[in-house]
Amino acid sequence: MAIKFSIEKELKGALGRAGTLETPHGVIHTPAFVAVGTKASVKALTPEQVKSLGAEVVLANTYHLYLEPGAKRVKSFGGLHKFMNWHGPLMTDSGGFQVFSLGTAYGRQVSKVARAQGNALDEDFFDVAPSLVKISENGVSFRSHLDGSLHYITPEKSIEIQHDLGADMIFAFDECTSPAEVFRYQEEALKRTHHWAKRSLDYHHSLIRANGGISGQALFGIIQGGREESLRKKSAKFIGNLDFDGFGIGGSFAKKDMETAVKWVNEILPKEKPRHLLGIGEPEDLFMGVENGVDLFDCVAPTRNGRGGTLYTSKGKINIKNAEFREDTGPIDFECVCSVCLSYSRAYLCHLYRAHEMLGGTLGSMHNLYFIINLVKRMRDSILDNTFPEFKKDFLKEYLSK
């Protein structure tokens, strides 16, 4: 086994739990927030800064790295850890989400969280021309958004790429559907995702056998099924019964559907394996996920918001570029003890963003990432000392007060 997951404590009357996830590159204390490093870089931050913020694990994107600089090239350099100088635990996704964001979802105002709810979070979502993707039973053909070249990804290809990249935890190839799709399409897509999960697992095992049975990589299967109870439960049963090391909960959600979907799935998944809610990271969603048995989260929101000047505080998000902050000598958040809040004023940050200084995006990303990582750590601590319900109530009351 490439990883070892242990549950330390469970939440009374709910699915939540605190634990540890041992990987070949170090231990993750769960629940944990995973910093996103799409193209082998957590945007605007050095790995030293990422580590200093308390991040224990980084997720990079298979689709992006496959196109540029190429998985074989990364392999020839000694793998992704060495390439990007991140020597802690590392994950790669399967590329499946890009099938969605480049294909079915394009131009439909939906992403990880439907844009109708005002919460679109995927920063690479609107980068590309429509209809670059064609899905068949065997795999997905698509044109590169970089140079228009034609590519074909199958479950086997996704696993091969992820073996070349060499992250500690990798994901089975899946199809992510839009909540706007009809039941019939959700059902078809789920069937494909399940076939692809088996093929991903089989190929992963065959590569390990070819390597003499040795592997430092854990494979997570992905549960889909959209907003449909029957499909989510079916998927959790099917994927949960396969020999995966952990699970990802995928999908594009309408915000109101997220909690039920997570609950349906986690009530069925085998409790002794870790669960990752893919692409979700707003505070209220993190509380919901943790309470309902999610161990890992990743999301581009902290760094994307950070670059744009939207900063998290204990009283909700602020846009630091607003004129009101030009004279504000206080820190971003009085309750925060990150290195940015200890050393810089809102006025200075406001100045940096207004002056288009790159340091604004760096400091904003540092604060936001710390804020979110630390928030999930505090949830973990509150599970351990039996105060999760109070912590959730108190935090959200203040956070959502405006």
**Is cis: bond before 69, omega within 30 of 0?**
yes
In whole angstroms, how close is the CB of 87 to a copy of itself at the nearest point? 10
Instruction: State the amino acid at position 183 in one-letter form.
Output: F
127 has catalytic annotation: no
Tell me whether residue 68 or residue 243 sits nearer to a copy of itself (CB atom): 68
Tell me whether residue 122 or residue 156 sits nearer to a copy of itself (CB atom): 122
In whole angstroms, how close is the CB of 182 to a copy of itself at the nearest point? 37
Q: Give strand ranges (E) for 281-376.
A: 296-298, 310-313, 316-319
* Rounded distance between C-alpha atoms, residue 110 and residue 106, angstroms: 8
In whole angstroms, how close is the CB of 42 to a copy of itself at the nearest point? 8
Comparing CA positions, the residue from 47, 28, 54 lying closest to residue 369 is: 54
Provide the Cα torsion 271, 13, 112, 51; round to 10°. Answer: -70
Tell me whether residue 119 or residue 339 sits nearer to a copy of itself (CB atom): 339
Tell me whether residue 246 or residue 306 sits nearer to a copy of itself (CB atom): 306
Token readout for 70 is: 């190429």
Tell me whether residue 31 or residue 306 sits nearer to a copy of itself (CB atom): 306
In whole angstroms, how close is the CB of 85 to a copy of itself at the nearest point? 5
In whole angstroms, how close is the CB of 343 to a copy of itself at the nearest point? 5
Give backbone dihedrals phi and psi of 201, rounded to 5 degrees, phi first: -65, -45
* Rounded distance between C-alpha atoms, residue 132 and residue 150, angstroms: 9
In whole angstroms, how close is the CB of 65 to a copy of itself at the nearest point? 9
How far is C-alpha 334 from the geometric centre of its chain's CA atoms?
A: 28
Tell me whether residue 49 or residue 200 sits nearer to a copy of itself (CB atom): 49
Q: Which residues contact a copy of itself (rule: CB under 8 A)?
A: 39-41, 43-46, 49, 64, 68-69, 73, 76-77, 83-85, 307, 326-327, 329, 343-345, 347-348, 350-352, 354-355, 357-359, 361-363
SS (H, E, C) 170-209: EECCCCCCCCCCCHHHHHHHHHHHHHHHHHHHHHHHHHHH
In whole angstroms, how close is the CB of 362 to a copy of itself at the nearest point? 7
Give backbone dihedrals phi and psi of 282, rounded to 5 degrees, phi first: -80, 145
* Contact (Cβ atoms closer than 8 angstroms) between residue 237 and residue 267: no
Query: Could you tell me which residues are beta bridge partners of residue 26?
Result: 23
How far is C-alpha 7 from the geometric centre of its chain's CA atoms?
A: 21
Tell me whether residue 25 or residue 351 sits nearer to a copy of itself (CB atom): 351
285 has catalytic annotation: no
The DSSP symbol for 24 reads: T
Q: Which of 164, 245, 285, 298 is catalytic?
A: 298
* Rounded distance between C-alpha atoms, residue 87 and residue 53, angstroms: 15
Q: Which of 93, 124, 164, 295 is catalytic?
A: 93
* Rounded distance between C-alpha atoms, residue 375 and residue 371, angstroms: 6
Q: CA neighbours within 13 Å on the CB side: how many for 146?
A: 9
Q: Give strand ranges (E) for 114-155.
A: 133-135, 140-143, 150-153
For the annotated catalytic residues, the residue numbers are 93, 298
